[in-house]
């Protein structure tokens, strides 16, 4: 019987139904939007920060050091800290979002991408040659989700921890048999980083 109704009859009918139930449709669409935000917030809170790998090292004073690879919002980060004095996760999801979304002029540096250059200069004991290595990606990851090298937490980076990490970064240039020998003889000169606000910092003196 419906097949006998002319097609042009459906157009005003659908228009009438859409108008009549427009508020219901908007209500359900808004409910779906809110529910989607709640689901996203739940995922961020429970799965936003995930440990990928743990590595145990020793600093120059033979203290136990923990090197963590982790992800936050699908970005890769590193945390190097002492095994008995660290906190993980280093920040809450809410705090990271508040910094990254801040429009305050005092918060210009708020992600790892605000570090735009990082060059390490180093030599070896009893050697006059200065070597330079681009470490931008590694230093960006080490700066953490808000790009401040965890300076406002118990995981704050210090020069000894940084040197421990740098040895791990550059010792891959050596053969396995020479790793330990060369790592012991590295003489770090400076690690210059350039920030998006124009400031230059020697991270070894940070």
Residue 142: is it exposed, middle or buried by C-beta count within 10 angstroms (0-12/13-18/19+)? Answer: buried
pLDDT in tens, 101-111: 888 877 789 99
3-state secondary structure of 77: strand
Question: Nearest-CA neighbor of 178 among 124, 126, 130?
Answer: 124
pTM of the complete model: 0.73
Question: Nearest-CA neighbor of 161 among 93, 85, 108?
Answer: 85
Q: Looking at residue 182, what is its pLDDT? A: 60
Low-confidence winner among 54-63, 128-137, 168-177 (lowest mean pLDDT): 168-177
Q: Does 89 sit behind a cis peptide bond, omega within 30 degrees of 0 on the bond before it?
A: yes
pLDDT in tens, 85-98: 888 999 998 899 99
Mean pLDDT of the region 121-126 = 87
Percentage helix, strand, coil, to 5, in the chain? 45, 25, 30
| Residue 158 parent element (H or E) | none
Alpha-carbon distance of 164 to 179, in angstroms, equals 13
Alpha-carbon distance of 111 to 48, in angstroms, equals 16
Instruction: Note the helical H segments in 21-68.
Output: 22-47
Alpha-carbon distance of 98 to 95, in angstroms, equals 5
What six digits make up the tokens of 123?
A: 């030599």
What's the whole-number average pLDDT of the chain?
82
Terminal CA-CA length for the chain:
82
Alpha-carbon distance of 55 to 43, in angstroms, equals 27
Evaluate whether 49 touches 71 at the Cβ level (below 8 Å). Answer: yes
Q: Looking at residue 179, what is its pLDDT? A: 47
């Amino acid at each position: 019987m419906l097949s006998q109704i002319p097609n042009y009859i459906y157009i005003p009918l659908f228009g009438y139904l859409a108008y009549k139930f427009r508020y219901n449709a908007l209500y359900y669409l808004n409910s779906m939007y809110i529910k989607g935000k709640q689901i996203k917030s739940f995922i961020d809170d429970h799965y936003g920060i995930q440990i990928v790998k743990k590595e145990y090292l020793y600093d120059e004073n033979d203290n136990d050091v923990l090197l963590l690879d982790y992800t936050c919002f699908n970005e890769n980060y590193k945390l190097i800290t002492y095994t008995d004095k660290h906190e993980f996760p280093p920040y809450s999801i809410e705090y990271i979002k508040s910094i990254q979304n801040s429009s305050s002029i005092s918060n210009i540096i708020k992600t790892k991408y605000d570090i735009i250059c990082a060059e390490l200069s180093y030599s070896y004991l009893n050697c006059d040659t200065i070597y330079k290595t681009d470490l931008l990606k590694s230093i960006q990851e080490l700066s953490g989700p808000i790009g401040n090298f965890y300076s406002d937490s118990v995981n704050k980076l210090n020069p000894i921890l940084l040197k421990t990490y740098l040895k791990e970064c550059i010792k891959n240039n050596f053969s396995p048999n020479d790793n330990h020998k060369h790592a012991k003889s590295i003489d770090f000169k400076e690690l210059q980083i350039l920030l998006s606000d124009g400031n230059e910092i020697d991270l070894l003196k940070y």
